[in-house]
Each structure stands twice: as C-alpha cells, then as structure tokens.
Amino acid sequence: MSAWGKKEPEYKELAEMVAQTPGISARELARQLGVSASTVTRRLPSLEEAGILLTEDNEGRLWPFGKHK
C-alpha cells in the first residue's frame, strides 16, 4: 500500500486546510495539524502523486495550484 493509502485522511486534511487558508506557511499548517513542519514538507510529494497540486511561493507559503497571486 502506498503512503497515500495509509495516510489518506491526514493528507486530505492538509490539502483542505491549504484550500481554506491559501498562503498558509508550512510551519503554521504543521502547528494547526499538531505535527512537525518536516512532516508537512514530507507529505507534499505524496499529495502531488495523488493529484493534489500545491505550490510554494518564495516566502514558503503554500497555495492551491494556480490560485495564488
């Protein structure tokens, strides 16, 4: 089973939080989820593999793909 399958609820929660709070930093997202910032960073490639695309700006803020300024 892929990492996505085992942790699908956590990944979906992460993606939903970025969609609800565009421009959130990985550090703030981690704080709200109760995980480390490195956990958020490690999950980003798995989200991409599942077709959930996020972008990160020069200041480290996360945005739904194509929706940031």
For the chain, give the longest Cα–Cα distance. 37
pLDDT digits (tens, 9 = 90+) for 16-65: 999 999 999 999 999 999 999 899 888 888 888 888 888 888 888 999 98
Per-residue pLDDT at 69: 53
CA atoms within 13 A on the CB side of 25: 8
Q: 35, exposed or middle or buried, with CB in 10 Å at 0-12, 13-18, 19+?
A: middle
Domains along the chain with CATH numbers: 3-64 (1.10.10.10)
